[in-house]
Structure 1
Amino acid sequence: MNEAIPDTIARTLVDPSAYADERIHDAYRWLRANNPLGRAAVPGFDPFWVVTRHADILEVSRQNALFHNGDRSTTLTRQADDALVRKITGSPHFVRSLVQMDAPDHPKYRALTFKWFAPGSVKKLEDDIRRLARQEVDRMADMDGRCEFMADVALGYPLHVIMNILGVPMADKAKMLTLTQDIFGGQDVDKDKRAKKLAALPGFIYRYLVKAFLADFTKYFMKIAKDRRANPRDDLASVIANAMIDGEPISDREATGYFTIVATAGHDTTSSSLAGGMGVLARDPELLERLKADPSLIPAFIEEAIRWTTPVKTFMRTATEDTGFAGRRIARGDWLMLCYASGNRDEAVFDDPFAFRLDRKPNKQLAFGYGAHLCIGQHLARLELKCLFEELLPRLKSVSLDGETSFTHSWFVNGPRQLPLRFEIE
């Protein structure tokens, strides 16, 4: 089998707008059937292998010594952007967080907050999270039966939760939203326009502005860290600020990376799954009635909403040595794209994968990743979704679409962009 992916398919993989419609799933379907581990070559990008089958994604994810996160960018990056990041930071990464780490650093840094995000610890947060969920439902009840769900509910609720856990004051909500949406939010249309305007500036001015942006958030997080070192509290910011690695205090760069990954990974992905689930309910009144009649189905609904939406569409890995994998010869330094949304629609694992079904037991969805880099916040994300839907559904009499829906244009984190709803609520 020829390893080269056809040009039309390869270009779809690097087209952010393809992730906003069914074109990406058409491409994935073709790849799973015809070239499940092919090589994409597109002008402006380094060549990369495309891993589309569920089993192969699992295998790459469990071989952490063979396939690294940190050697190159962990997200698909244009050659020009990669060169710019390296000029600014001296590495392939804007920040260094858990996502960009490999052993031996990764397990040490992951252990700092592992207990905080363990099921038992997360369960202790339920009362506070449920209170926030109830407030959101009360807000919906005051919206006269219409809202743009993504902007009015889905973005704010998870952000509020993660700010509470971090211990960040709500007065800084706008700054945190800028962090999660504008800096690390992918290639969405409006963001891409702003990026192009910036990129049109002379190189030294562009680099200065990006450095200033990063410095601003480093200063912000370090101010929080300084306060927690002097006045530790029962919040995640205190855990990060006072962390010790190999007997030494965590560095400012690693602390900033930790704050950043908690804020961003804990927000965008949950927002997308929440809106994805509401979009399904708005299109399927019978499903809404099933859930209202039997709330015990809500956890299965949430798990299927996560599979259905798959907020993190792709991550990149880098081979650390020459190896044979899935019938291909992978060379040291080769880049691999793990296509989670493809794995979550793999016909070999999921019956009728393009249908939303509550009877998937077990639901082997890959939206949280797998292996050593399995999302540390997965239990928190599920709890947030559970609390919101458990508070909303008993009061929700009906819900339907109230206009055109749209999805973000991004090959990284992707989900609903606009979800206008009309609803009746008690």
Structure 2
Amino acid sequence: MTSDQQSAQGVNDWTPTEERFTNLRTPEWEAEMGRLRKQCPVAHTELFGGFYTLSRYEDVAKASRDFRTYRSGQPFIRVPGMSGLIPSSLNPPEHGPYRKVLNTYFRPEIMNELEDAITRYAVDGISELTAAGCGDAVAAICKPVPARALATWLRLGEDAHIQLLGHFTQLGGDFDDPERMNELMFSVFAGHISKVVADRRANPQDSAVDVLQGILEMEVDGVPTSDETAVAVGVALIGAGHATTADALGSAIYRLAQDQELQQRLRDNPELIVPASEEFLRLDSPLPERGRHTSTDVELHGVTIPEGSLVALNYGSANHDEEKFERPTECLIDRAPNQHLAFGFGPHQCAGAPLARLELRVVLTELLARTSSFSLAGEPESVRGLMMNGLETLPLVIEGA
């Protein structure tokens, strides 16, 4: 598409909401992303008020780093009002103090302390499936483990994950309704976190290990954190930390359920579970797109992206770019290097990546060690949506070790 064409009204280079283009596992999606990368690397659609999509690895990585040109403040394409999440909606330098504090709670020693608990949560779900010989891996493992891990990491109390799972279930069907999603994110989740913040004010915890206490005790330019800001951080941590990890787990287990040879290779070589997890993340990016706004006109591949335009950084397509990855559609579990963008890139790269990686490693390790085989018992139900890539159900037939 030329810049002259771009200036015309009604230009649609692709229709990203078509069902065949919202499931990263389909040949149609693969073919469409390949077409965009080759023929239309800056693609425009009128949907959601109009936005542009960058699909090549080099462009997506560069835009992710360039926070001055591609500004955050609109993290999700499909939810136009979700601009209040901290720190994902902020840009440097405002973004920096929050990330600096948050990063301390994902340091290796805290992740190591969580491993035993996450192992218990994984074993609980796996045991449920092996005892029955079948079941839904999403319901038994993929959703409960991240919810329990988040509740433990946030120090919300032993049964807090039950409430969180109820909130996630309530939210799950509303990704196509931006107003409803806003309402849930900033009422249901905010209401939950507000109670925790009030409790931290009344009963301060050890800020060395309690992330919400650490946020409450921080100052930005000498200004103490307000309760509202602490709640916005908490909502972002829960919102970002559950669905993406649950989707990553479901996608990984789905791939293994279809490949008995791969299962056995990982059982025989557990040291390959970590690089295999990275390859699963590359192939099935749980958050395929993130949104940015341009702060100035951008000229890219012959297209003018006007100042103030919404731009989707298509991490899913970038992770399949044949110019970056050899044999990009193949699952090469020992791929090295594997510089995928599943966790984003640049200053807004996912702070919680260490926790997500820990959950992936623990769940896959325990699942493979405690089974002799597992396979599909039926077709899984996919999560549908431009910004989501996961499974709602994953029926398995499973045999214990």
Which runs of no fewer than 5 residues in structure 2 stay unpaired? none
* CA distance, structure 2, for counterparts of residue 210 and residue 381 of structure 1: 24
What corresponds to 1:283 in structure 2?
258
Report if the CA contact (8 A) 1:97-1:257 is conserved.
yes
* 1:297 to 1:211, Cα distance in 2 relative to 1, 3 A: closer
What corresponds to 1:175 in structure 2?
163
**SS of alignment partner, residue 125 of structure 1:** helix
What corresponds to 2:323 in structure 1?
348
Matched, 1:370 2:345: yes
* CA distance, structure 2, for counterparts of residue 385 and residue 215 of structure 1: 30
* CA distance, structure 2, for counterparts of residue 406 and residue 318 of structure 1: 33
* 1:135 to 1:289, Cα distance in 2 relative to 1, 3 A: same
Matched, 1:65 2:68: yes
Matched, 1:129 2:132: no
**SS of alignment partner, residue 174 of structure 2:** helix
* 1:94 to 1:54, Cα distance in 2 relative to 1, 3 A: closer
Matches for 1:139-154 after TM superposition, within 5 Å: 139-142=128-131, 144-154=132-142
Match of 1:51 among 40, 51, 54: 54
What corresponds to 1:253 in structure 2?
228
Report if the CA contact (8 A) 2:128-2:140 is conserved.
no
* CA distance, structure 1, for counterparts of residue 210 and residue 343 of structure 2: 24
Please give the TM-score of this superposition, normalised by the length of structure 2: 0.89
What corresponds to 1:270 in structure 2?
245
* 1:273 to 1:315, Cα distance in 2 relative to 1, 3 A: same
1:257: how far off?
Answer: 1.5
* 1:405 to 1:213, Cα distance in 2 relative to 1, 3 A: closer
User: What percent of counterpart residues are identical?
Assistant: 28
* 1:76 to 1:380, Cα distance in 2 relative to 1, 3 A: same
* 1:101 to 1:400, Cα distance in 2 relative to 1, 3 A: same
What corresponds to 1:95 in structure 2?
84
**SS of alignment partner, residue 339 of structure 2:** coil
**SS of alignment partner, residue 316 of structure 1:** strand
Matched, 1:224 2:196: yes
Q: What residue identity is the alignment partner of 1:338?
A: L
Report if the CA contact (8 A) 2:343-2:349 is conserved.
yes
* CA distance, structure 2, for counterparts of residue 115 and residue 425 of structure 1: 38
* CA distance, structure 2, for counterparts of residue 319 and residue 287 of structure 1: 43
What corresponds to 1:24 in structure 2?
29
1:174: how far off?
Answer: 4.1
Report if the CA contact (8 A) 1:181-1:268 is conserved.
no
Report if the CA contact (8 A) 1:95-1:257 is conserved.
yes
* 1:179 to 1:26, Cα distance in 2 relative to 1, 3 A: farther
* CA distance, structure 2, for counterparts of residue 177 and residue 34 of structure 1: 42
Which runs of no fewer than 5 residues in structure 1 stay unpaired? 83-91, 200-205
- Cα RMSD (Å) of the superposition? 2.6
Stretches (4+) displaced over 6 A? 5-8
* 1:178 to 1:251, Cα distance in 2 relative to 1, 3 A: farther
Please give the TM-score of this superposition, normalised by the length of structure 1: 0.84
* CA distance, structure 2, for counterparts of residue 155 and residue 212 of structure 1: 18
Once the two structures are superposed, residues 108-146 of structure 1 have per-residue CA deviations (whole angstroms, 9 ceiling, x without a partner) of 11112111113344233323322333333333332x210
Report if the CA contact (8 A) 1:15-1:411 is conserved.
no
